[in-house]
Amino acid sequence: MKKILTILGARPQFVKAAVLSRVISEHHEIEEIIVHTGQHYDNNMSEVFFKEMEIPKPKYNLAINGLGHGAMTGQMLEKIEPILLEEKPNAVVVFGDTNSTIAGALAAKKLGIKVIHIEAGLRSFNLKMPEEINRILTDRISDLLLCPTDTALENLATEGYKNLPIKIVKSGDIMKDAVLYYGKTVEKKASYYKSLYLKENDFVLATIHRQENTDDIKKLKSIFEGLSAISEIKEVILPLHPRTKSILKKHHIKPKMRLIEPVGYFDMLALLKNCNLVVTDSGGLQKEAFFNKKHCIIAREETEWVELVKNGFATVIGSNKTKMIDAFEKYQNSNTNFSKNLYGNNIGENMYQEILKLIN
């Protein structure tokens, strides 16, 4: 039996991997070994999480977290290499753009093991973002690039990837499969959401955590001023990221909205399903908003998911509070048709078949 080794580090990657793992288990043709680097470890990443998400438990947990980029990536490389030598997989699968992604890809490539990059070809064109560096380098050393969109394909073509011995496939966005599958059970599993007693379509869901916003106090203040203004019209619910929480406390900023603790995947799905719209600087949440037929206000200077903006589902406002309020008001009077298929169908199965071709 062929074997792949999947390297994960952040919760969104576990959600995406759950889709692929389920398809792999259904076919009985590939053995999958999961390695958790520990990059974004938290208490919710427990046995209950794996049980509810139907994810195979990691065979290896490296517990590498709380370090700077260099130390974190270096330690991951050091610890992944002996696992690869022990397991001897036919290929390594990495997701997205984290330090775990580039460390897993580098460790495999240096040992001559094939690399599969899921969510390939995405670009923000902002090299100040660590994620941009990770995704560019991972794409370049991969053997199979599974791209979510036409835009991702175009990015790779512009960069000359057609001249490289790398297979490029438009597979669709695996997060769509996850939202559709887990959305069926969200009412049963979102216990914390129920305790919030929120009215359907009567609150705004916000998340702010990116370094480009949290490390620039002027930007952060402007974003929260915009959210506070919106909260006077409609309730704003903000699961507070630890980094954002510490910086707000340091600068004595007290936002006028409902701050809650970070929530698990099912509670976040419930919030998405029932909110009026989303304000976020998260990449994944932009698409999940679309999958749940919600408009999204993007608190960044750019987005990798340009098709959301081009089709009127999202607006990029940077940290401009006036633009945020204007976008909020515009979307209150909008009857957008969310039926457009931007991200494909049966994505997990598409990816599985491409992986099978690569390793056979």
Q: Which residues are catalytic?
A: 209
* Burial (Cβ within 10 Å: 0-12, 13-18, ≥19) of residue 360: exposed
In 128-197, beta strands by DSSP E = 144-147, 167-170
The answer to whether the beta carbons of residues 113 and 89 sit under 8 Å apart is yes
Q: How many residues are there in the chain?
A: 360
- Nearest to residue 185, comparing CAs of 260, 288, 267? 267
**Cα 144 to Cα 151: distance, rounded to the nearest angstrom:** 17
- Other Cβ atoms less than 10 A from the Cβ of 185: the count is 12
Q: Nearest 5°: CA angle at 284, between 281 and 289? A: 85
- Phi/psi of residue 169, nearest 5 degrees: -135, 135
**Cα 264 to Cα 110: distance, rounded to the nearest angstrom:** 36
**Cα 76 to Cα 60: distance, rounded to the nearest angstrom:** 12
**Widest distance between CA atoms in the chain:** 59
